[in-house]
Amino acid sequence: MADPVSIRSPRIYASVLAATLLTVAMGAWSGASLGPWAFAVLFVAVTVTGIPHGAIDHLVAAQLWGLDHTWSDQAKFYGGYLAAMALYGGLWLIAPAWSLAVFLAMTMYHFGQADLAYWGLPPLPARFLYLSRGLLLIGGPVAAFPGIVDPIFRAIGGVHLLNWPLIETAPNVLFAGLAGQHVLALGVAALGAEVDPLREAGREMLNVAVFTALFGLVHPLVAFSVYFGLWHSLGHILELLRFFRRRGEAMSLGNFYREATLFTLLPFVGLGGLYAAAQSFGQETEMIALLFILIAIMTLPHMVVVERLYWEREQQRSPAP
């Protein structure tokens, strides 16, 4: 039985690439202004693919850890999931700056892993490559638009971004360095990858060019929305379809969204309230900061599930001792 499509399937990849380039063109034309539509773009990206991509973690965990539909097994999963969210949420109240640092670090790793795990590298070089991709994705918009990101960082964790040495003195050099280090990392990693180095390295070099344009020319809120919604979340949803197919369970895109409905709608209510509050009171920075904190709290347990998924695949690729 053939695997379902992935984010790298020609038609899907071409569509995502086209949408991203259209965003880059619009961003270059309109500049870094943030109109009401930009917050709406984030809202749509988070609700259509962002939240759903982690909304069936309970089904994925059941496959990975062999959990049944018993009360005890369900309590193990939901108890652990909610406990991780509660502990991390408490950390935001106690040490917001450290919580922000943890969020940025785990997001860099998580994004890079989702993008490049298919290269099939050994564990150590793979993780260096993941962090290299994440540095570009997270550090790029920070270096390109420090004046825009700084108020959000201050609202989230009391971090004064504009006081950082390179951000203050040479943001353009820093941005170029972030892109350059990933080009170098891809070139080195391609030598040991399981994939066709010419084709896949070439495509990833194109992706780097597109991401550099996206995060360098487009308002960081819109750029994040496009990457998070189209590249990361959609890619993960398609990866889950492949995961269940390998497990012998047919799951279509329609099946996925039906299974994800409950845990998509619950956060959707809160996001709707955030959007309404931002529109009514004009406190966009505070609302965006709160939104990212909520994303961070939900990301921690989700990342544990995803890490297990990719760890299992690494074990299957590793030769038997």
Indicate the domain borders of the chain: 10-25+45-312
DSSP 8-class letter at 5: P
CA 204 to chain centre: 17
Closest CA to 239 of 4, 1, 2, 52: 4
Handedness of CA 198, 200, 205, 206 (dihedral sign): positive
In Å, how far are 50, 55, 113, 257, 298 from 103, measured between CA atoms?
Answer: 16, 19, 15, 27, 11
pLDDT digits (tens, 9 = 90+) for 128-162: 999 999 999 999 999 999 998 898 888 888 888 88
For residue 17, how many other CB atoms are within 10 A of its CB? Answer: 16
**Which amino acid makes up residue 76?**
K
pLDDT value of position 313: 83
Alpha-carbon span 201 to 10, nearest angstrom: 16
Closest CA to 224 of 168, 156, 163, 140: 140
Quick one: which of 130, 50, 123, 78 has its CA closest to 296? 50
**What pLDDT, in 10s, does the model give residues 179-227?**
999 999 999 999 888 777 778 889 999 999 999 999 999 988 889 989 9
Q: Which of 113-117, 218-222, 294-298 is most confident?
A: 113-117
Q: Are 161 and 153 in contact (CB under 8 A)?
A: yes
Query: pTM here?
Result: 0.88
User: CA nearest 215: which of 227, 197, 204?
Assistant: 227
CB 219 within 8 A of CB 27: yes
